[in-house]
Amino acid sequence: MMALILFYITSAVAVFATTMMITRLNAVHGLLYLILSLLAVGVLFFLLGAHFAAVLEVIIYAGAIMVLFVFVIMMLNQGQETIEQERAWLEPGIWVGPSLLALILLIEMLVIVVSGGDAETGYIVSAKQVGIVLYGPYLLAVELASILLLAGLVGAYHVAKPILNAANSGRKS
C-alpha cells in the first residue's frame, strides 16, 4: 500500500515538473524542472522494480544530458546584457518550486531506504533481462531509435555550426 502511495506522489511530481518545464519561457527555469521530471521518472522506475533503468535514467539523462544543456546555455549567453539577464534568472524565489519538488522526491527515497526495501515495489528487473528484451524482440525499435538520435546529433551540429562560427569570428575582431 505504501508503494502505491509513493508511486502516485512521484507521478504527480513528474507530471507537475514536466508541465512547469513546458510552460517556462526561460530556458534555465525549464532546465531545472526538466531535471526534476527526470529524477521523478527515475524514482518511478525504482518503485516499479526496474532498479537498473532507474540508475540509467538518473546517470544518463539527469546527469550527462543536463550538464550538456547547461554548457550550451552558457556558451550561447554572451555580453553584458546576458549577465544582467542571468542575475534576474537567479533570484532566490525562482528556486522555491524546484526545491519543494526535489524535497518531496528526497523524502520518498528516504522512506524507501528506511523501510529497507520492504515496500512492495513490484518485480525486480535485472540488467540482463533488460538487455535480453531490448536486443531480442525490440531490436528493430532500439536500432531505429539509435539512428534517430544520430540523425538529431548530426542535424544539431549543422544547425549550430554557423552560429558558433559567427560567434568565434566576432571574438577575434
Across 69-98, average pLDDT: 70
Closest alpha carbon to 120 in 15, 42, 7, 43? 7
> What would the grid cell of residue 146 be?
539509435
Single pTM value for the model: 0.59
Q: pLDDT band at residue 15, thresholds of 50, 70 and 90?
A: very high
The mean pLDDT value for 24-37 works out to 82
**pLDDT beyond 80 at 26:** no
State residue 97's pLDDT score. 81
Check residues 94 and 117 and name the one with the higher pLDDT.
94
Position 73 pLDDT exceeds 80: no
Which of left, alpha, beta for 122 (phi over 0: left; psi -120 to 50: alpha)?
Answer: left
pLDDT score recorded for residue 127: 77
Q: How far apart are CA 135 and CA 82, in angstroms?
A: 46
Mean pLDDT of the chain: 79
Mean per-residue pLDDT, 48-75: 78
Kindly state the average pLDDT of the residues 25-42.
84
